[in-house]
Amino acid sequence: MVREPVSDSESKSGGRAGASSLVSSQVEMRRELDRRRRVRNKVPEWPLHVMLIPAVAVIFIYSYLPMYGLRMAFQDFRVSRGLFGEQEFIGLDNFRFLFRMPNFLRVMGNTLWIAFLKIAFGLIAPLVVALLLNELSNQGVKRVIQTVIYLPHFLSWVILGGILVTILSPSSGIVNQVLGWLGIGPIFFLGSNDWFVFTLVSTELWKSTGWGTILFLAAIAGIDPNLYEAATIDGAGRFKQTLHVTIPGIIHVIALLLVLSLGDILNAGFDQVFNLYSPVVYESGDIIDTLVYRVGLLNAQFSLGAAIGMFKSVVSLILISSSYFLATRYLNYRIF
């Protein structure tokens, strides 16, 4: 998963030495080795450790201590006694309570279903759009379209939520007005359990499809143009070229994104749901993260909230680790 970087300098200098005559190459090689040994011994290592102090401290306090703080899921936590103070240990009571909560299974189901739909369509839609963009011959038109469709990615769900609440309103929203002209009755996009998941998935696509095309377009740009020429000579039209050259050329990226998305199956998108939902649609739209917030912070049931969060973190750990394992083992993926 985490590999050592390959030393470029060693391979490069080796090649350079081999180019000249045998004697001079040996001299040069010895000189090179000497120099490298000198460099290695001379540059002290400690400044590198000093540079890492701030990050290690901040990550330790704000990423690792919360992990330690998860022990509050096994306690009857009182804020007054503090995170590091003596708390009453209650074992698995919070988890027992959690699995008996009537809405927990429903929330799990909602989370999995919403996340699954987002992953599936979030992979297909950008792929299709990237292939369509690739067929545009006019680079100017292509660039303008790309610029426009990337924009929603940079606006927050607070702002998009404000816009969506306005335009999707059944009484005054412009969307229902247009649907009215087509003879379709007002639809309660944000206030009906039949429509809420559809609204979540489609607005997520609206926000992120354009951004998602970047990776595919980059992969398409990396395909050897000779392959297209060969295909043309073999009589393949544009559609056949897409099918037999472009898609096989980017299948590696598709597989990688698919594998990495495994880690997101419990992330239904807190920011989006939180800015769009209301108690009316809890039945279809309440997800783990929103439940943690309401139980843990709004109702101040800290231990129970931490227990729900821990359940999610542990399942995610297994999923993310497996996805990274698969990606590094089979798809030649490297993070650090």
Partner 1 sequence: MAQLFNRRPASRIKASPARIAFSIANHIVLILGAALCLVPMIHILAVSLSSPGPVAAQRVGLWPIGFTWSAYEWVVGNPDFLRAMGVSFLRIGLAVPMSLFFTVITAYPLSKEKKYLRTRGAYVWFFFLTMLFSGGLIPSYMIVLATGLIDTIWALVIPALTWQVFNMILVLNFFRQLPKSLEEAAYVDGAGHWMVLFRVYLPLSKPVIATITLFTAVTHWNSWFDGMIYMNFPENQPLSTYIRNILQTLEDVRLTIQDVSLIEFLNNDTARAAQIFVAALPIILVYPFLQRYFAKGIILGSVKG
Q: Which residues inside 250-269 make contact with partner 1, applying CB under 8 A?
A: 253, 256-257
> Is residue 138 left, alpha or beta, with left meaning phi > 0 and alpha meaning psi from -120 to 50?
beta
Footprint (CB under 8 A) of partner 1, residues 182-211: 206, 209-210
Instruction: Report if residue 181 touches partner 1, rule: CB under 8 A.
Output: no
Question: C-alpha 6: how far from its chain's center?
Answer: 27
E strand or H helix that includes residue 89: strand 88-89
The residue among 54 and 91 lying less far from partner 1, judged by its C-beta, is 54
Binding residue for partner 1, selected from 21, 22, 23, 47, defined by CB under 8 A: 47
Write out the binding residues for partner 1, residues 95-134 only, by CB under 8 A. 129, 132-133
User: Using N-to-C axis directions, what is the helix angle for 104-134 and 139-150, rounded to 10°?
Assistant: 160
Is residue 277 at the binding interface for partner 1, with CB under 8 A as the rule? no
Should residue 81 be labelled a site residue for partner 1 when binding is judged by CB under 8 A? no
Of residues 151-180, those binding partner 1 (CB under 8 A): 151-152, 154-156, 158-159, 161-167, 172, 174, 177
Identify which of residues 21 and 151 has a Cβ nearer to partner 1 in the complex. 151
CA dist list (Å): 315 to 181, 261, 326: 47, 14, 17
Nearest approach, Cβ of residue 246 and partner 1 (Å): 15
Which positions from 137 to 156 touch partner 1 by CB under 8 A, shown as an x/- string? x---x--xx-xxxxxx-xxx
Give me 269's structure tokens: 């998108």
Question: Among the candidate windows 20-28, 41-49, 99-107, 186-194, which touches partner 1 by CB under 8 A?
Answer: 41-49
Residues in the chain: 336
- Residue 276 contacts residue 290 (beta carbons within 8 Å): no
What number of helices (H) and strands (E) belong to the chain?
17, 2
**Please, what is the angle between helix 302-330 and helix 247-261, to 10°?**
150
Binding residue for partner 1, selected from 120, 136, 243, 251, defined by CB under 8 A: 136
- State which residue, 1 or 105, has the beta carbon closest to partner 1: 1
Q: Kindly list the distances between the CA atom of residue 140 and the CA atoms of 133, 146, 212, 221, 253, in Å, as whole numbers in the listed order.
A: 12, 10, 20, 16, 26
Q: Which stretch binds partner 1 (CB under 8 A): 53-61, 99-107, 112-120, 191-199?
A: 53-61
Q: For CA atoms 72, 78, 83, 88, give the dihedral sign.
A: negative
**Which residue of 20, 248, 297, 329 would you call a contact of partner 1, by CB under 8 A?**
297
Indicate which single residue of 218, 240, 248, 329 sits in contact with partner 1 (rule: CB under 8 A).
218
Q: Which of 18, 82, 109, 248 binds partner 1 (CB under 8 A)?
A: 82
Report the residue from 90, 108, 119, 215 that binds partner 1 according to the rule CB under 8 A: 215
Q: Could you tell me the smallest distance in angstroms from the CB atom of residue 92 to partner 1? A: 17
In this chain, which stretch among 20-28, 87-95, 191-199, 311-319 interacts with partner 1, using CB under 8 A?
311-319
CA distances from 34 to 39, 253, 335 (A): 9, 43, 33
Q: Is 322 in the site for partner 1 (CB under 8 A)?
A: no
Residues that bind partner 1 (rule: CB under 8 A) add up to a total of 115
Closest CA to 200 of 120, 277, 290, 129: 277
C-alpha distances (whole Å) from 144 to each of 141, 148, 149, 160, 214 are 5, 6, 9, 22, 14
**Alpha carbon distances (Å) from 15 to 9, 28, 29, 37, 277:** 10, 12, 10, 19, 62
For residue 76, the minimal CB distance to partner 1 (Å) is 14
> Any contact of residue 92 with partner 1 (CB under 8 A)?
no
